[in-house]
Structure 1
Amino acid sequence: MFEGISGQDAEGFLRYLSDLYHRFNIARDHFLQRPFRNRKDFYNPFIISQGLKLRTLNNAENLMKKYIKDKRMRQMISFQTLYIGISPNKGPSLYTIIPMIEFLYGIWFIKGGMRTMASAMERLFLELGGKIEYDTSVDRIVIEEGKATGVSAGQKTIGSDFVMCNADFPYAMKNLVKEPGHKGKYKDEKIDKMEYSCSCFVLYLGMDRKYPEIDTVHNFIFSEKLDANINQIFDGSVIEDPSLYMYMASKIDPTLAPEGKDGIYVLMPLSDIKTMKYQWTAETSKMYRDKIIGKIRELPGMEDIENEIVTETMVSPLDFEQQFNANNGATFGLKPTLTQSVHLRPQSKATHCDNLYFTGSSTHPGAGVPIVLLSSKIAVGELLKDENHR
């Protein structure tokens, strides 16, 4: 495809893969899979020398200009920083490893969709002897004499030797860790001043038929004015011409929709609640819903999509905030800026309380399902380290 546009850009694309693969290996081996519990874990000659090799001071868009001149081709790669909720014009250039990983390793699908991963982890946890309290809201992490000793859920206190908190870190620090002395530097004022990722508006559509004209699982529908679209996402303006990600899992796994029908998931990036220059209302949901349907209607075979919808569910930034405790409705947690990454991002082990650990997209190493799973692996490693030491 690149050769069809420009031989020079095709050559640049291959150089991009080679250069970013080198940086990916450094990031994977020395930064993404390890904790930064103490200052010396980062501020030592070896780690700093490896960090300099990552050359993260540039942003994703400017890095891509070095390799690819055609703006359309460049946008196809650099926009993927939106996967973790940051603009390609602001995101550290390291995050251009995301499309590189897709190009080299492919995109893997779990039969049954992402729910299969959650249910499989639940099953394993139960098999290992774990107990799950369903439909139970935790209102406080119990801390006694500088140690986490359990959680409070309404009238009930559940005791434990360790507490692993996977609520969004900013929410947890503001609402679950009550005593200011146990928050460390993450007191309410700091949490409010931190930078947050974008949010999303999501449609789940059950359709009355299949769409043979669309034969791919993952589909991107770009705004005609992508730069303006991205600026609106991050400056809080109303999105005029949105870009969309359309996922049709039933194309690869027919069990995810009734026979002869397709299910469609559509995600539209937009501002987090704090950044929005407008109030989110039912009318806002309808406005963006109509914009989404209007753009999909332009795709082959989907001209009559409005009349072919059987079931429809919407998830707004307010839902992310209210149902999932995502601070400001920021779907991807804290924005992965240079000053909120690696050792400067919240770590797994609490700094001012023993036996308390955190995992999730707002903690190191960051957002995105594979990276969040790495955060859980790091958090477990930190817990086991303390348990073994004890």
Structure 2
Amino acid sequence: METRHARILPSFAVALAKRDFSCGLGTVKPQSLLAWSGPLPTQTTTEEIRYQFVKRNRVNPMPLMSQSTGIKLRDGWKNAIDASDVIRVEMALTHIGGEQNFPVTSLEVIKQGMRLPLVKVLAILAKIEASYWITGREAGIDVSVTPEWKTQVFRVFQQQWVKDLDSQDLRFPRPSGLTLEDCLANELSRPEISYECFELCNRLVAADKATWSEELRALSEIAIQVSSRKPGSNGHAKRWVDIFLMRYGGTDGQTLKSVGDSLGMTRERIRQICDTQITALTEYPVAMPALSKVLAAAAELSPMVPQLMNNHLAHLLGNGGGVVAALAFAKEVGMDGKAQLIKKKEPTYWPRTSSNGAVGFKRIS
């Protein structure tokens, strides 16, 4: 599962949070703020959690205020925050004697330099840290990349679907107001880049190359992460993906009853599992480049019988994929294309009797 920094509190503050937070999302565990799955929290939720944290530390603020921030001002850090906040950070840098001192300076001194309320200081630090945070790994790991790899990445940046990505896209989120190329420009100008940047670029390249069959699986997995209803275990999550692929994948997809009969489940239960994922994919922006390619190519080939169209689009559909199932899914998520499928007309035969009395059939259409 893809997770990320929630941009609510910096990691040194999260380490001091001993109790769960209550907000509009329900109960939020402190550790989840550094391994957040799904869309980033709304501003309301973000502020709720941040204010709770500050309020809890008012009685005894020393453990928090004496903490070194550990925040690194890596290349591109200014892109992670507003211009007005950049000015505040630069004020703090003047106060402490330069960027090299930022990670080892206490929160108290950073706050004095920024001349801002604690809540605002924590928000700025969290956003800067999130710009290079690597969930499950030590932040700051660099990866050497080749010019050929960079060329491949920049080629993908020029694809229209990448340019059109929403900042809150489920698969490829980024700071609002910036394109992905803007966000990563400084990183990619260096011979070594952060692991997070490397991993994100590889996922973009893979998504651009993916077939529809591969993309459908990725969509199911991300939908399960953000859906309101959750499977009870990893095993159940895999089963939910399999159900989704049976329903919307393959050549023609399967009916709810057919999927249920195959798995020994009721039609209604299959509907609930599929609807939960479809709802997640329609409530949030999510890139579907492979499906868009299928829809565009199918529209150009129309009208055509499905089997022949499948042959023409096999490179886009992927292993076992079919245009009938792809179009049905597209309609479910509001991407109804202009493709026109025609049913293969069955031949018509007319009985006839030959000169020797034998009865046969003549094809007339």
| TM-score bin, normalised by smaller chain | under 0.3
Q: Which has the higher helix share?
A: 2
Q: Which has the higher strand share?
A: 1
Higher RCO (Cα < 8 Å, 6 or more apart): 1
Q: Please, what TM-score do these two structures have when normalized by structure 1? A: 0.22
Q: Please, what TM-score do these two structures have when normalized by structure 2? A: 0.23
Structure whose alpha-carbon radius of gyration is higher? 2
